[in-house]
Amino acid sequence: MKQLLLSLNQWLPFSTEPVATAYLPKRSTMMEYDQPLVWVTVLLMLFGMVMVYSASISLPDSPKYANYKNAHFLIRQAIFVTISILAGLLVFRIRISTWQKAAPYLFVATLILLAAVLIPGLGKGVNGAKRWLSFKVFNIQPSELMKLFMVLYAADYTVRKQEYMHKLTKGFVPMLMAVGAVGLLLLLEPDLGAFGVIVCIAMGILFLGGINGVWFGCIAATLVGVFGLVISLSKFRRERIFAYMDPWVQENALGKAYQLSHSLIAFGRGELFGVGLGASVEKLHYLPEAHTDFLLAVIGEELGFIGVLTVILLFYWLVKRAFEIGRQAIVLDATFAGLTAKGIGIWIGVQAFINMGVNLGLLPTKGLTLPLMSYGGSGVLINCVGLAILLRIDYENRVLMRGGRV
């Protein structure tokens, strides 16, 4: 057939396009996977690695880190990023249908890990909070696992209970009990920040899944009351709120608002273009946890408003892309995949917003890291796994749009 079409070209000298070219099927120009999503994720991790090194290079001057080398945190973060990328490559090969089947079991297993953190001898405490399980060579933070598995569980629950989403006992109460169990364990650690993120994930997916509007409003009001009660019953949290409201009073600036006041000083010093990479003063033992919770403040001081705006725009693009992938999956009748994609967008977006809000003084101080960028193995690994699942959803969307099967 191809030879016949080629021979016809010789008899059609006035044709604007060869017959063989005009009638043979053309290869699709659609990419096999979302390359911009991969590059933005890698860029955020590499950018974070550079800033972690800059924020931690002077830590060995402190007695607490006297035995550490200047590149200690850089080397460990590079190892975390490498392992995370390898894990992402493996996760990308797992079908979304497999994640849907495993979602309830992963949720229950992580719930057990959250309970294990509270068992003496198993849980590892840092700064008065027990949030890690120590395995000698490495530590695991179950609350990070729960963020991802809450996305999967809530999406699966919404799909399974779709016909009951407008009913109280069958649609709302079971999910409330699941989130309540997670919340209780996280508050015992305590980890109010992680609880807030997980609640936003569950609420967001339920809302997108079509839960009754009245019940959704009741849930929101109840949760506001719960968070208010938790804060009012904790003297430490109350003091943090009051300090946040006026961080420049001497008592607050030297006490509960110490981190916030120095974070704001860092942003003030950075102005538009920053003082230069590596030239931060606040990281020199003035700003605690500069390489973890307050990495954005170091970026603001060294790279200025332009550096902070770049980070914000990269996260905005990431969240926007997650919602676009989710909408496309739902159009293709892959509801679980669509809700999972949007749930990952909610998770990354809410955590990034809270971290940035804390650094900028828009929200009270809370111990949440900046996704993909802050120092930490569990956080970077789980973020990377979540985005690998998002990439897989997009890949399956592209296969379906080509008429293939997944």
Question: Which of the 8 DSSP states describes residue 155?
Answer: H
**Distance between CA atoms of residues 248 and 106, nearest Å:** 45
User: pTM for the complete prediction?
Assistant: 0.88
Question: Which of the 8 DSSP states describes residue 249?
Answer: S
DSSP 190-234: T-HHHHHHHHHHHHHHHHHTT--HHHHHHHHHHHHHHHHHHHHH-
pLDDT band at 356 (very low <50, low <70, confident <90, very high): very high
In this predicted model, what pLDDT tens digit does every residue of 188-229 receive, in sequence order? 888 888 888 998 998 889 888 877 667 777 777 777 777 777
In this predicted model, what pLDDT tens digit does every residue of 231-289 receive, in sequence order? 777 777 777 787 888 888 888 778 888 889 999 999 999 999 999 999 999 999 899 88
In this predicted model, what pLDDT tens digit does every residue of 61-72 receive, in sequence order? 888 888 889 899
**Distance between CA atoms of residues 167 and 211, nearest Å:** 8
Containing H/E element for 124? Answer: strand 123-126
Mean pLDDT (whole number) for 48-58: 95
CB-based burial of residue 307 (10 Å sphere; 0-12 exposed, 13-18 middle, 19+ buried)?
Answer: buried
CB-based burial, 137-158: b 16+ in 10 Å, e otherwise? eeebbbbbbbbbbbbbbbbbbb
- pLDDT beyond 80 at 185: yes
In this predicted model, what pLDDT tens digit does every residue of 91-101 receive, in sequence order? 999 999 999 99
